[in-house]
Amino acid sequence: MSSYRQILYHSVISTKDKKLTIPDDHCEALYKYIWGVIKNNDCTLYQINGIGNHIHLLNDLNPTTSLSNFIKSVKVASSMWMKEQKNFPLWESWGKGYGSFTCSFREKDQIISYIKNQKSHHQKESFVDEYKRLLKENGIEFDERYLLG
């Protein structure tokens, strides 16, 4: 008998201290680079987008990859790449931690749309408010002192 599974993750990764260190003009290059990192980890990326201080990913993991190792590989590889690029002069690093939420396949298109519309979404809601809302919607208790350091 074969093994089957389908687990989608909506992940949020913040820059260090939530600083605006990802320039709009060069975010597409970053997203393409991250897509390559994800592909090299035998995982599937459905959507990536963000604004200057965070990114959202909707992805499926290879069954042999843990979520924490996946996020670590994305953070390490993309941070090293941005430090080598002249187009990210303010880049320091990703913040500690991340938020990841499992999603049903039925929610996939809705979450893709949500991620695609980050720039317009953040004209109405700050990143911190968005992150708190996502944590609450997913039943995650949190201490505000430790939100995305």
**29-38 pLDDT, tens digit each:** 999 999 999 9
Residue 77: what pLDDT? 98
Ranges of each domain in the chain? 8-137
Banded model confidence at residue 19, pLDDT cuts 50, 70, 90: very high
The yes-or-no verdict on residue 122 having pLDDT over 70 is yes
Mean residue pLDDT of the chain comes to 94
Its CATH architecture, for the domain 8-137, is 2-Layer Sandwich (3.30)
Residue 73: what pLDDT? 97
% of the chain surpassing 70 pLDDT: 99
pTM of the prediction?
A: 0.93
Q: Which residue matches tokens 């809601």?
A: 125
Longest Cα–Cα distance of the chain, Å, equals 52
Residue 60: what pLDDT? 96
Residue 2: what pLDDT? 78
**Mean pLDDT computed over 53-72:** 96
- What dihedral do alpha carbons 123, 93, 77, 81 form, nearest 10°? 90
Check: CB of residue 87 under 8 Å from CB of residue 23: yes
Residue 23: what pLDDT? 97
Q: Which residue matches tokens 């996020």?
A: 71
- The kind and range of the H/E element at 73 are helix 67-84
The yes-or-no verdict on residue 104 having pLDDT over 90 is yes
